[in-house]
Amino acid sequence: MFEIQLNEQQKNASLHKDGPAIVLAVAGAGKTTTLCTRIANLIINYNVNPKKIKTMTFSRAAARDMKERFIKLFGGQIPNIHDVEFSTIHSFAYSVIRYYYRQKDLPLIIIEDEKEETNKYRILKDIFKETNKEYITEEQLEELLANITYIKNMMLKPKEIEELKNSIKNFSLIFEAYEKIKRENHYIDYDDMLTVAYHILLKEPQLLRGLQNKYDYWQVDEFQDTSRIQYEILKLLVKPNNNLFCVGDDDQTLYSWRGSYPKILLEFPKEFRGAQVYFMEENFRSTQDIINLSNRVISLNKQRYKKNIFTKKDKGLPVFIEEFNNEKTQIETIIQEIKAKSPSNEVAILFRNNFSALPFIDSFHEMNIPFYVREHKMSFFKHWIVKDIIAFIKFTYRPCSLELFNNIYYKLNAYLSKQSIGYVAQQLKEMDAKERENINIFDLLLTYPALKEYQKNRIIRLKYEFDVFKKENTSNFMEFIRRRLSYDEYLKNQDLTSEEVVNNTMGVLEHLARNVTTGLQFIDKVEALRLFTEKASHNKIKTIVLSTIHAAKGLEFDDVYIIDVIEDVLPSASSLNLLQKNQDVSELEEERRIFYVALTRARSQLKICTVKKRFNNSVEESMFIKEVKKFLNITSPKTRPIPKSQKHKVNPRELDISIYKKGTYLTHKFFGKGYISMVNQGIATVDFKSFGVKKIDIKTCMEYKLLS
């Protein structure tokens, strides 16, 4: 048809002209090429005005990439090529809202930007505090936002909202209050773009008819991720001709938790009578071994269209299962393997959740290996458990700080009342600045008149423990905080988060603490790691990519490592619980789809990695590993030994720290060049040009270089 090589299935789909159609395209089937070719076919062969074709997808990057691809393919053949519209469905909905509000002379305030004084995060935090009389944690805020997204996308009714399973106390009241504030102030958030646009189209038939007449052909990419509200909007827009052309893969539906509704794709032919169903089953990306395994894995799902994914590529390298003793061995081996690869190889390390990424990021940081973090959303550094550990350490060195003490006292099993804390605050107010700097909060508490004997004994004990902590400068500070300061006991009694999240968060913290000898070093390390991760999210060198499987959908790489394929991670604990309690396979099938997406990212080499121990806890083999073993006829893969380090590690205690003096310069491998303004008991205060003043433990100076 054009100068583009299409197989028979691609050609059939791209030649579709009128009426509804759905294209079921397997991973790597060239769906973008097919969509672009269909647009060109409508314009060149049927003289359709380019302005009459609207293509929508679900991310700005995808819309931009598709437009660039279309122009690259057909720029010389279509005169008005820039008239073809590519957008996200959210941006389309926003254009409807903006037009309507302007016509009605209504104020329109978007509350998505955290930098603005009025934003949805601050509003929800305030509502939560007012409703529950406590501050919301980052984890709770994430769950609250996810629930709101789900409600809007699934168009839930009040009764369904009340029955929605979640761990947010008084969720319905918070949701109602949030909706009321938005209505009264004409605020709109990201999720409202769809619901508000939908209701405008329902009550403004003239506006709807205008849009129906504006476009003759509608195309939707990534149709498997369509939510109920998005589908309802599309059904309104495509009437009366129903020229709706949708491309998707039910085997890659990953977002049911935020409203993706896979039944839409399965029931499309029932909704649109006479709809054409096209299959695109040839994978142009991966080798035969990878495709054969992927096909067998996904065929275990029942709620899907039956497809037969195939490739004409060579057999290629065999798929490996790599079993490691622990995450440390996994990291060291994978890094050694990556170093041995060609620098031009595109390598991806894919994982189910960010807890798996942080130990890798830590090792890349230590070894100064450049990498790219895709769609960086590392909320770990904001997690309340991480903040608690840092507050414990800081208070050890600043026992005069009431602000720090307020963050931790009720987590110490100290039996202290708010009245006693108020008493301390009053005493501090009456002191001058010098006195306040030299006071110990525990000493002030011991002067509180209404103190009971058991409270007094506990305060004395805690003061002793913190003194020991500081004097010993313990290398095992995590153990100290968890056991001797009773933090584990506090965590056990909290309903703020799941046991799984607690174990993972503490496990990552323990891992990060393994190579530091003091609490202050740990604080420096966590901050440096946070900045390093942020920097990696903007890195233009993308030969090594760290990504969640969700964020990697639509991408491809030469070599792929899927890490931490263990029970309760991949598949998730919640999917296994749902299966066990209710015999409900829906979540488990989504987990298998996630695994399938990970498998099909690899062009040449695929390694599925599992561990026997994770964060010092024994873990069970994933059911997906068992399935793969069966398909590959593997009885028991050999456990990889811990590789010998090729680098002699210097003991920081052997370093001569006397060379680091006031008035000299040093270079930190992350913060850059800095001027030492003060050194006190091994702690250097350094003014870094790009990052401001930092306090650094000189015992970690094997990481630094002194400038002459």
Q: Is residue 142 in some structural domain?
A: yes
- What would the mean pLDDT of 317-332 be, rounded to a whole number? 92
Q: Judge whether 93 is annotated as a binding position.
A: no
pTM for the full model? 0.80
Q: What pLDDT sits at residue 143?
A: 87
User: Can you give the CATH number for the domain in which 447 is found?
Assistant: 1.10.486
User: Can you give the CATH number for the domain in which 686 is found?
Assistant: 2.40.10
Give the lowest-confidence range in 137-141, 182-186, 349-353, 598-602.
137-141
- What would the mean pLDDT of 524-537 be, rounded to a whole number? 88
Residue 15 above 90 pLDDT? yes
Q: Judge whether 31 is annotated as a binding position.
A: yes
Residue 705 above 50 pLDDT? no
Residue that finishes a domain, picked among 185, 218, 240: 185
Q: What pLDDT sits at residue 189?
A: 93
User: Can you give the CATH number for the domain in which 12 is found?
Assistant: 3.40.50.300
Sheet containing 557-562, strands listed edge to edge, beginning at the edge strand earlier in sequence: 372-373, 544-548, 347-351, 557-562, 602-611, 320-324, 639-640
Q: Is residue 495 in some structural domain?
A: yes
Residue 680 above 80 pLDDT? no
Judgement on whether residues 371 and 439 belong to the same structural domain of the protein: no
Judgement on whether residues 202 and 80 belong to the same structural domain of the protein: yes
Contacts 24+ apart (CB under 8 A), 622-626: 622/565, 622/566, 622/567, 622/569, 622/570, 622/571, 623/567, 623/571, 624/297, 624/565, 624/570, 624/571, 624/591, 624/592, 624/595, 625/321, 625/565, 625/566
The per-residue pLDDT of the chain, averaged, comes to 86
Write out pLDDT tens, residues 88-100: 999 999 999 999 9
Q: What pLDDT sits at residue 655?
A: 43
Judgement on whether residues 372 and 444 belong to the same structural domain of the protein: no
Domain that holds residue 652: 648-707
Write out pLDDT tens, residues 430-471: 888 888 888 899 999 999 888 888 888 988 988 888 888 777
Judgement on whether residues 516 and 370 belong to the same structural domain of the protein: no
Q: Judge whether 29 is annotated as a binding position.
A: yes
Q: Would you place residue 77 in the very low, low, confident or very high pLDDT band (cuts 50, 70, 90)?
A: confident
Percentage of the chain lying above the pLDDT 90 cut:
45
Domain count, the chain: 5
Residue 611 above 50 pLDDT? yes
Judgement on whether residues 565 and 547 belong to the same structural domain of the protein: yes
Query: Strand 347-351 to strand 557-562: parallel, antiparallel, or no bridges (unpaired)?
Result: parallel
Q: What pLDDT sits at residue 648?
A: 39
Judgement on whether residues 364 and 429 belong to the same structural domain of the protein: no
User: For residue 430, what are the contacts with CB-CB under 8 A and spacing of at least 6?
Assistant: none
Q: Is residue 112 in some structural domain?
A: no
Q: Would you place residue 244 in the very low, low, confident or very high pLDDT band (cuts 50, 70, 90)?
A: very high
Q: What pLDDT sits at residue 177?
A: 95
Q: Is residue 257 in some structural domain?
A: yes
Q: Judge whether 610 is annotated as a binding position.
A: no
Residue 704 above 50 pLDDT? no
Q: Is residue 314 in some structural domain?
A: no
Q: Judge whether 210 is annotated as a binding position.
A: no
Q: Judge whether 76 is annotated as a binding position.
A: no
Q: What pLDDT sits at residue 604?
A: 94
Q: What pLDDT sits at residue 475?
A: 60
Residue 684 above 80 pLDDT? no
Query: Strand 217-220 to strand 347-351: parallel, antiparallel, or no bridges (unpaired)?
Result: unpaired
Tokens representing residue 313 in the block: 């590529």
Q: Judge whether 118 is annotated as a binding position.
A: no
Q: What pLDDT sits at residue 639?
A: 52
d(CA 471, CA 681): 12
Q: Would you place residue 472 in the very low, low, confident or very high pLDDT band (cuts 50, 70, 90)?
A: low
Judgement on whether residues 519 and 545 belong to the same structural domain of the protein: no
One-letter identity of residue 10: Q
Q: Would you place residue 103 in the very low, low, confident or very high pLDDT band (cuts 50, 70, 90)?
A: very high
Q: What pLDDT sits at residue 200?
A: 96
Q: Judge whether 30 is annotated as a binding position.
A: yes
Residue 541 above 50 pLDDT? yes
Residue 669 above 60 pLDDT? no
Judgement on whether residues 593 and 551 belong to the same structural domain of the protein: yes
- What would the mean pLDDT of 351-363 be, rounded to a whole number? 91
Judgement on whether residues 485 and 610 belong to the same structural domain of the protein: no
- What would the mean pLDDT of 650-664 be, rounded to a whole number? 54
Q: Is residue 630 in some structural domain?
A: no
Query: Strand 109-110 to strand 187-188: parallel, antiparallel, or no bridges (unpaired)?
Result: parallel
Dihedral of CA 358/362/363/368: which sign? positive
Percentage of the chain lying above the pLDDT 70 cut:
89
- What would the mean pLDDT of 79-90 be, rounded to a whole number? 92
Residue 647 above 50 pLDDT? no
Residue 473 above 70 pLDDT? no
For residues 417 and 646, the model is more confident at 417
For residues 226 and 695, the model is more confident at 226
Judgement on whether residues 213 and 339 belong to the same structural domain of the protein: no
- For residue 583, the tally of other CB atoms under 10 A from its CB is 7
Q: Is residue 436 in some structural domain?
A: yes
Query: Strand 692-697 to strand 85-88: parallel, antiparallel, or no bridges (unpaired)?
Result: unpaired
Question: Treating both helix axes as pointing N-terminal to C-terminal, what angle do 573-582 and 586-599 enclose, rounded to 10 degrees?
Answer: 140
Q: Would you place residue 16 in the very low, low, confident or very high pLDDT band (cuts 50, 70, 90)?
A: very high
Strands annotated E in 262-382: 276-280, 320-324, 347-351, 372-373
Q: What pLDDT sits at residue 651?
A: 41
Q: What pLDDT sits at residue 478?
A: 82
Residue that finishes a domain, picked among 590, 624, 658: 624
Residue 349 above 80 pLDDT? yes
Q: H helices within 223-326, ranges in order?
A: 228-237, 262-266, 268-271, 288-298
Q: Would you place residue 195 in the very low, low, confident or very high pLDDT band (cuts 50, 70, 90)?
A: very high
Judgement on whether residues 69 and 211 belong to the same structural domain of the protein: yes
Residue 663 above 90 pLDDT? no
Question: Treating both helix axes as pointing N-terminal to C-terminal, what angle do 60-74 and 31-46 enclose, rounded to 10 degrees?
Answer: 50
Residue 701 above 50 pLDDT? no
Judgement on whether residues 77 and 205 belong to the same structural domain of the protein: yes
